Each structure stands twice: as structure tokens, then as C-alpha cells.
Structure 1
Amino acid sequence: MATNQEDVKLLGALASPFVCRVQLALNLKGIQYEFLPEKLPNKSELLLKYNPVYKKVPVFVHNEKPISESLVILEYIDETWKQSPILPSDPYKRALARFWTKFIDDKIVVPSFKSVFTIDEKERDKNMEESSEALKVLENELKDKFFGGEEIGFVDIAAVAIAFWIPLIQEISGLQLFTAEKFPKLYKWNQEFLNHQIVKKSLPPREPLFALFKGRYESLFNASK
């Protein structure tokens, strides 16, 4: 177990759901850390030093050892700080949790953002259909209060974009990606998740984020006219 919490840093941007994942895990475990904000697309020398391969956030730095990619960071945090585990102890359940987090990224988060921030109508419809079908699959997978059971776990943390970011971007675009009528179980999960004390503490302020994405959306479509 790590003892030196003074040497925990997180390079990130508040607009990123992937950065929020790491903040959620750290807050759930009660780990103190220093948040170093990155003003993207400008990349700081520190970011280029710690993540020379992908040059993107989040980057987690523990005792000057950098780790990138949010799901990899979550596993490192869980293995290093044993309190309030976010991954199951059973190997099969751990493997399933990894499977569903990759599914969430590949089939829901990425297509959902593409469906909003894509000008081509056919491409937009294709991405929206893909994310809707994947949300149906995830809806059927939800058996308890959270994906982690009665407590928030690895899959719930990975799904923060579904809970917070997707409703925000669908409000901006007018697309109906994620609604209570289409996905009642996921919507109930969404409400439980967003009302969790630690989740509330970890999420970025909604209004500046809304303004940021609305600006991106409007500039994209204004430029295409």
C-alpha cells in the first residue's frame, strides 16, 4: 500500500470524462492529490514529459512515475490503495468488469460524441444507432443499484460519461440518445449515481462545461454552412 500521498498528481482537463474517472476513483478512496490543469489544445511541457507517446490527459503521476490512459490508471490506483476496492476480487468478475468498460468506451462514449460532433448526416445517424444499440445491451446488463452492486465500482466509474456528459451533449444537439423512456434501468442508475456524494464532488461544474460544448457544436455547424 502506498504511504506517500504527497506525491500524487493528476494532469487533466475538467471537460474530460476520462479525467473525471480518475478523480472519482481517487475521491472514493480518499486519496489526496494535486490537480494540474491542462489548457488544451495547448500542451504543457509537463504533459509532453510525462506522456510523450499520446500527449493527452489524463496523466497520473505517483512518486514521479507517470501512467496514462484512464482505465489503466484506475487499475493502478485500485492495486496501490487497497481501501474501498473498485474492482471485484474474483478473477472472472474482474475480467467481466474490464470487458464492459472497453465496451462502454468503444460502443457508447465514442459513437455518442461522434453522433453529436459530426456534420455528415449519414455518419451521424450511423453513430447514433450504434450507441443506442449498445445502450440497450448495457441496460440488460444492469442487475443491481450500481454495476458494482450496492457500491460504485469500476464499470460505474467508466460510465460517468453516460451519466453526465451524454445528457449534456444531447441537450445541446437536440438528439435523443439517452432517455428515461428508452432506458429506464440505466436512467434510474444515472439518478442514483449522480446523487452520490462522492460523484457530486468529482464532477465538473455543469454550466461552464455546457457553454464549452455548445460553443464547439455551434462553431462546427456554422463553419459548415
Structure 2
Amino acid sequence: MEGMEEKKSKVILHGMWASTYSKRVEIALKLKGISYEYVEEDLKNKTESLIQLNPVHKKIPLLVHDGKPVAEPLVILDYIDETWKNSPPFYPEDPYERAQVRFWVSYINQQVFEVMGRVMLQEGEAQTKSVKEARERFEVLEDGLKKHFPNKTIRGNDDVGLLDIIIIASFGVHKAIHEAIGVETIDPLNTPTLYNWIERLQQLPVIKEVQVPHDRLVTFLQKYRQEHLQQAAKA
């Protein structure tokens, strides 16, 4: 009966093709084998559905399950994992291992992702300072991955959990960022664990399904950066 109910459920994802936050949810849905309808949002002209269903933040991604909206990326990922309990589970069974996953996901979101946003949208001395800070934070992440996940294997979908989703969605585009702005923060020499982690995830068919074309993303990032710098210059 439970399986029949899941098959009948309707899932809609409001997202944006270049958003790493949207990619997190897309990957999660694909991993769980959940069929869904995708609504591409123009962030400068959002649909009425998005605004009405997410009145607090009016942001993507937004998951709508049988008419019920669920907002905020991590909240959505937990909702997916708790609603569809089939493999793969997004968290390990061991409480300490779960705590480590939550800690490093939080570190990526609050520390690494934040500084990378500054690197993307700055220039000159400000960017140089942020690049140095970003590399320091990536080194901390590198050490954390080596220390707390020394036996990590990635052979198939069952090896992919929440931390993997966050890593590949956030940093799987690092080569496009490097080409777009000329700054490299993840490489085999300085962050080999993280670099290889990303490379192994990118070989999985489920990840390839949602990957954005490299050239299209580079063009988008260059345009986005240029528009931001022009607006900042006028302010």
C-alpha cells in the first residue's frame, strides 16, 4: 500500500538550471528514484506559483509534494530522506558519523560557500584577500574529510549521502569557476581528497544526468559576475 501511495504522489521542483541549491535537490530526487515535474524559474521574473507557495523567502529551490510546499535546501533534503525511506539513506546510522556529516555540511554552507560567493563577485585587492581566505577554508575542509571519512568509497548510488550531495552540487562546478574568473581553489595538489571525491562522484550516471554543460555555465558565470561588478561600480 505504501509503495502504491508513493507512485501516485505528485512532486514538483521549482528551480533554476545554474543554481547549486537546485542541483542539491535534483540529485536527491534522482538518487531516490522519485519522478518529478521540473519548473524552471526566471529569478528576475518569478512565477506566481513560487511566490504564493514560498511567501516567506520567495526563493528556489521549492519542492511541492502533493500540493504541500517545502522550502529551503537542507529542509527539502531532509524531507525527501524522511518521506522516501528507500536506499540510499542520506545519513549514516551511527550517531557520531551523522554528527560529522552535519558538521561538515554546515561548514561548507556557512564558511566555504560564503567565501566563494565573495571570490566570484569581487575584484582587485578585495578578491585577492577572499581567495586567500577561501583556500584556507578549503584546507580545513580537506583535513576534515581525510580525518573523519578516511574509508570513503564511491562505487554507486548507495554510497552517496548528504555530504556527497552537498560536495558535488557546490564544488562540482569548480573547473567552470576557474575558467570563468581565473581563480583556482580546488586542485589535485593542494586539496587531493576533495578533488578526487568530486571526480569519483562525477563518474556516477545519476550525477551526469543533472550536470550543467561546462561552456554554458562558464558563459553564465562570466555574465553574472560582470553584471554584479557594473552594479557595484554605480552604487
The reply to whether residue 218 of structure 1 matches residue 226 of structure 2 is yes
Structure 1 length-normalised TM: 0.90
- Equivalent position of 2:114 in the other structure: 110
Whole-Å separation in 2 of the counterparts to 1:26 and 1:150: 14
Matched, 1:160 2:168: yes
Q: Say whether 1:172 aligns with 2:180.
A: yes
1:66 paired residue number: 69
Query: What CA deviation, in whole Å up to 9, does each residue of 1:93-150 have, x standing for no partner?
Result: 222212211111111122112112124x34323322232122112212322235x998
**Number of residue-to-residue matches in the alignment:** 223
Decide whether the 8 Å contact of 1:112 with 1:166 is kept in 2: no
User: Could you tell me which amino acid in structure 1 is paired with residue 19 of structure 2?
Assistant: S
The corresponding residue for 1:77 is: 80
Task: Give the percent of matched residue pairs that are identical in Structure 1 and Structure 2.
Answer: 35
- DSSP 3-state at the match of 1:55: coil
Contact map agreement 2:27 2:206 (CA 8 A) in 1: yes
Q: State how 1:66-215 maps to structure 2 within 5 Å.
A: 66-84=69-87, 85-119=89-123, 121-142=124-145, 143=150, 144-145=152-153, 151-215=159-223
Q: Which runs of 5+ in 2 are unaligned?
A: none
Q: Distance in 1 between matches of 2:169 and 2:6?
A: 31
Deviation at 1:209, TM superposition (A): 1.9
Partner of 1:48: 51
Please state how far the C-alpha of 1:200 moved relative to its aligned partner: 0.4
- 1:27 corresponds, among 23, 26, 30, to 30
- Name the SS of the counterpart of 1:10 in structure 2: strand
Return 196-205 or 11-20, whichever deviates more.
196-205
Hey, what's the Cα distance between the residues in 2 that align with 1:170 and 1:113? Answer: 13
CA contact (8 A) 1:163 1:193 kept: no
1-structure distance, mates of 2:190, 2:158: 24
Runs (4+) of structure 1 exceeding 6 A deviation are none
Q: Is 2:42 the partner of 1:39? A: yes
Equivalent residue letter for 1:202: V
- For residues 52-106 of structure 1, give each alpha carbon's deviation from its aligned partner in whole angstroms, at most 9, with x where no partner exists: 1111100011111111111111111001111111211233322221221111111
8 A Cα contact 2:13 2:64, kept in partner: yes
In the alignment, the residues of structure 2 paired with residue 192 and residue 90 of structure 1 have an alpha-carbon distance, to the nearest angstrom, of: 24
- Please say which of residues 211-220 and 46-55 is displaced more in the overlay: 211-220
Instruction: Please tell me whether the aligned partners of residues 58 and 68 of structure 1 are also in contact (alpha carbons under 8 angstroms).
Output: yes
Aligned residues: CA RMSD: 2.3
TM-score (structure 2 length as normaliser): 0.86
